[in-house]
Amino acid sequence: MTSTESPAVDNGVNVGALLDARAALSDAPAGAQFQWRAETEWLKGTHSRGTVKTFHGLGGEQEHISTFTFDADHPEHFAAEDQGATPVEIVLVGLGACLTGGVASVAQLRNIQLRSVKATITGEHDILGILGADPEVPNRFKSIKVHFDIDADATPDEIAAVVAQSQKRSAVYDSLTNPVAVAVDVN
């Protein structure tokens, strides 16, 4: 194809800037040490509101251009008021977003034009654990599955390779599939 017949691939990801950031942070790794933050305020019952605004990275304090809020609650099936998604569903949202953002970035790097990307994330969970009904049942998900439907200007093998690379570099995927130390304290 001539250049007029082959418009530049544009998934909306500035890969050049990401590659520049990688080079710059490789030379100055202190700037790559990030602290991500959320605040949770209890409202009533199991209903809480999470807020995301500031973070630390690139050697200093940073903030998002707006404040993001997330209501969480339990469904009416648990005698709650269903004022938000459950915390476990919110984690699935984070996983789907991480892998999807990765797919867009990797596709851009590989000059693959995406037309649509949808991910369906399902988490199997035996709630006898969190209910304290069976000490043999863990509290966590039994397993999670992410299914992508991707329409892109690429072969099935190329699309599968993009997904695999996204998975290989996903912060949330790695945080779920490997142990992360979590410390909890009060007052």
Q: Does 143 bind its own copies (CB under 8 A)?
A: yes
66 binds its own copies (CB under 8 A): yes
Binders of its own copies among residues 35 to 54 (CB under 8 A) are 35-42, 44-48, 50, 52
Closer CB to its own copies, residue 82 or residue 110? 82
Cα of 91 vs its chain's centroid, Å: 8
Task: Please report which helix (H) or strand (E) contains residue 58, including its range.
Answer: none
Closest separation between CB of residue 2 and its own copies, Å?
A: 27
Q: How far is the CB of 31 from its own copies (least distance, A)?
A: 9
Q: Is 155 in the site for its own copies (CB under 8 A)?
A: no
Q: Return the number of other C-beta atoms located less than 10 Å from residue 134's C-beta.
A: 11
154 binds its own copies, rule: CB under 8 A: no
| x/- map, 157-186, its own copies, by CB under 8 A | --xx--xx--x-xxxxxxxxxxxxxxxxxx
**Cα separation, 117 vs 151, whole angstroms:** 6
CA distance 100 to 54: 23
Subset of 93-132 contacting its own copies (CB under 8 A)? 93-101, 103-105, 114, 116-132
Q: In a 10 Å sphere around its CB, with 0-12 CB exposed, 13-18 middle and 19+ buried, how is residue 98 labelled?
A: buried
92: amino acid identity, one letter: L
